[in-house]
A = this chain, B = another copy of it.
């Protein structure tokens, strides 16, 4: 199954790579739909899964059990707002872990650190 070039895939990837908003599949779909009315939601999902499988993007589990996507592969962590569902980047340096403790369990491919809470934007709205 040799991969063929696909304009759709390119659009989806470029959109994901060009935003810091950690969108969910549907948000990407809606954003690209306007320029491209024939775009199908399943195509977005299919390509996102492909990116993840290829290691070109990662999934971030968000609030409300919706998956968000991120094409930023540099070490960074996330803040997930339990109220609005937005995901923010947290610019920490990568954390060093006890490798021996992890080796006892398995081989780590990557890690995700997510802080859960209420973002300042929502906090202010709640006043």
Q: Which residues of A contact B (CB under 8 A)?
A: 61, 65, 67, 79, 81-82, 88, 90-92, 95, 97-98, 101-102, 104-123
Knowing that A92-B101, A110-B115, A114-B114 are A-B contacts, what are 12 other residue pairs whose CB atoms are under 8 Å apart, sorted by A's residue number? A61-B61, A79-B108, A88-B105, A102-B115, A106-B118, A106-B122, A107-B118, A107-B123, A109-B116, A109-B117, A111-B114, A111-B116
| Total identical chains | 2
With known contacts A67-B65, A111-B115, A114-B112, A120–B101 Cβ distance under 8 A = no
Minimum CB–CB distance for A115 against chain B, Å: 5
Whether the Cβ atoms of B112 and A106 lie closer than 8 Å is: no
